[in-house]
Amino acid sequence: MQMTAPEKSRLREELIKARKAVLPAEKELKDAAVFEKLLALPEFARAKLVLTYVSSPIEVDTRRLISYCVEKGIEVAEPKTENRDMFFVLMNRDVKVVDFGGSICIVPALAYNAGNYRVGFGGGFYDRFLSGYDGFSAGLCYREFIREFRAEGHDCPVDVVIHD
């Protein structure tokens, strides 16, 4: 049985409130742990291109990841949206990525479940993108935001969820 729209809306509100309650010092430790685990992934080590969101204050930090990639000469692309489509552009060049070969996609979420499905911010952009993406995908999450919830038919799981 799928979640109703009001149930999903209430869950999003609850998750956003809980995310805002994470203390800055605690968040820094959690972000560092997630970053180290991401670097340890063989799929990340092989990546020639990292598709990543630019984190907001309530999301798992990706700024450290972006800096690391730039320092190591790994291409980084960020998502852009137009109408109901999401695409990626190379950072600092605004060039649309058309070849995702050798890439890893870092996927944001408010929460993940045990099946690697996510509750996002709404809009379905990542689900639509992931449905046609044949690269490796990794979700970033804090341990306390691994929750049980029902996935919907259009939801796409990530390959792995990395948490603190």
Residue 47: CATH number of its domain: 3.40.50.10420
pLDDT along the chain (164 residues), means of 10: 77 90 90 98 98 96 98 97 94 93 96 96 93 97 93 92 97
pLDDT at 8: 82
Please answer whether residues 89 and 76 qualify as being in contact, where contact means their C-beta atoms are separated by less than 8 angstroms.
no
Q: What pLDDT was estimated at residue 1?
A: 59
pLDDT score of 122:
86
pLDDT at 87: 97
Q: What is the dihedral of CA 58, 64, 65, 67, to 10 degrees?
A: 140
Verdict on whether the full-model pTM lies above 0.75 = yes
Number of folded domains that form the chain: 1
Q: What is the pLDDT of residue 7?
A: 83
> How much is the pLDDT for 153?
82
Tell me the CA distances in angstroms from 156 to 31, 36, 60, one per residue in order. 24, 25, 20
Host domain of residue 124: 5-163
pLDDT score, position 36: 98
Look at residue 145 and give its three-state secondary structure: helix
Among 102, 93, 117, 85, residue whose Cα is nearest residue 51: 102
pLDDT of residue 105: 98
